[in-house]
Structure 1
């Protein structure tokens, strides 16, 4: 049976050096408010939890986050097919990425690229403690690589601005600083911004991102 769901804008997963700690976000890390999604979130996540012997809550907790990080891409593609398959907090984070893109005047193609990137990097889970090196947040950005402070990176609207290239700080080129990004393959643009060790993995989420944008964008206001 599903538990009662909150629609707070961010769930944070903290992975400590000697174990894994899941923590609810503070107000500083909350995504900007946006109208409630028309999707009933958590459906795919519930099925994933059932397969892994986890409580079928449809929400991301510590154990679910660990399982998601370890699952192969083939299983993750089967798990996340529509917006309704994301957990409620993760869907709220995705909507914030869309809202920030709208507020910055980023074309829909750029918003798709941002959604692809966050989906590959974190499944829209906001990590407050590093998972890989010093990577944080939904885009797994690194303070040591010029993406901002940990507080900036784990604030979803701010990290979205960093990815788009409209944040007033940092030395990394964001989306709009990539010359010719509009005509590049979306997965190549993700890689140009992120400089990942796994450049070919972004493209698998393109159709998911397009469907997510089409479904959610009509009810997401611009976020300045």
Structure 2
């Protein structure tokens, strides 16, 4: 008797559960042509994303979910995460931390928007604690080998945010505040100036999302000194 072949998405999800080390690449390559389209029927959010891959729709970022968030194409992620309300509780908590660090340093809201754009593109606000590609870690996918700090420092979200903003931190790299004229630059260009990504055009797609996220979560984000 022949056994039925499992759906490709389910096989992908099962494999992710075994292989994940809870990390994202520094700058994931775009999905190859022919990548499967999301099967959401208009559904949004983390639960819908999980369900589309055959995972339990818990609404929380487990290891298999984190792996798939890392590898899914941008076109698919924009469908599932069309608005800040589509993020899960851990993701929103990390977003509030990024905002809180900016508020604690009395940085303008535009700086906070740029930080949120960057974290959304790099990690979808998942705090990756083990690398998959090179040694990128944390919500900003910063690399210890490139002078951003130790793994423990990079995966401490307030410290990682301070490094991105260019506030006093363990980082040896220039942050946002060290980018000359950042206030007059396009937000996506500022993200790239700090991150030095191999895919510089991918940050801009999250600008509207980041502005909405700041409006939604900013009032509840306590300043972090």
**Fold in common (TM above 0.5):** yes
Q: 3-state DSSP class of the match of 1:214?
A: helix
| Residue 86 (structure 2) pairs with residue 85 (structure 1) | yes
Distance in 2, matches of 1:21 and 1:185, equals 34
Offset at residue 212 of structure 1 (A): 0.2
Distance in 2, matches of 1:222 and 1:175, equals 18
Offset at residue 131 of structure 1 (A): 2.3
Question: 2:202 maps to what in 1?
Answer: 201
Higher strand share: 1
Question: 1:32 maps to what in 2?
Answer: none
Question: 2:51 maps to what in 1?
Answer: 50
How do 1:178-189 residues align onto structure 2 when only pairs under 5 Å count? Answer: 178-189=179-190
Distance in 1, matches of 2:107 and 2:188, equals 17
| Residue 159 (structure 2) pairs with residue 155 (structure 1) | no
- TM-score by length of structure 1 reads 0.81
Deviations 1:100-155 (Å, cap 9, x if unpaired)? 00001111000000000000000000011112201000000001111111111000
Distance in 1, matches of 2:169 and 2:161, equals 12
> CA contact under 8 A between 1:158 and 1:167: conserved in structure 2?
no
> Moved runs in structure 1, 4+ residues, more than 4 A?
none
Distance in 1, matches of 2:73 and 2:52, equals 13
Q: 3-state DSSP class of the match of 1:161?
A: helix
Q: 3-state DSSP class of the match of 1:128?
A: coil
Distance in 2, matches of 1:79 and 1:99, equals 26
Question: 2:191 maps to what in 1?
Answer: 190
Question: 1:171 maps to what in 2?
Answer: 172
Count residues in correspondence. 188
Q: Which has the higher Rg, Structure 1 or Structure 2?
A: 2
- TM-score by length of structure 2 reads 0.80
> CA contact under 8 A between 2:98 and 2:161: conserved in structure 1?
yes
Distance in 2, matches of 1:147 and 1:160, equals 11
> CA contact under 8 A between 2:96 and 2:220: conserved in structure 1?
no
Q: 3-state DSSP class of the match of 2:193?
A: helix
Deviations 1:149-195 (Å, cap 9, x if unpaired)? 11110000000000000033322000000000001000000000000
Distance in 2, matches of 1:22 and 1:78, equals 23
Q: 3-state DSSP class of the match of 2:92?
A: helix
> CA contact under 8 A between 2:46 and 2:59: conserved in structure 1?
yes
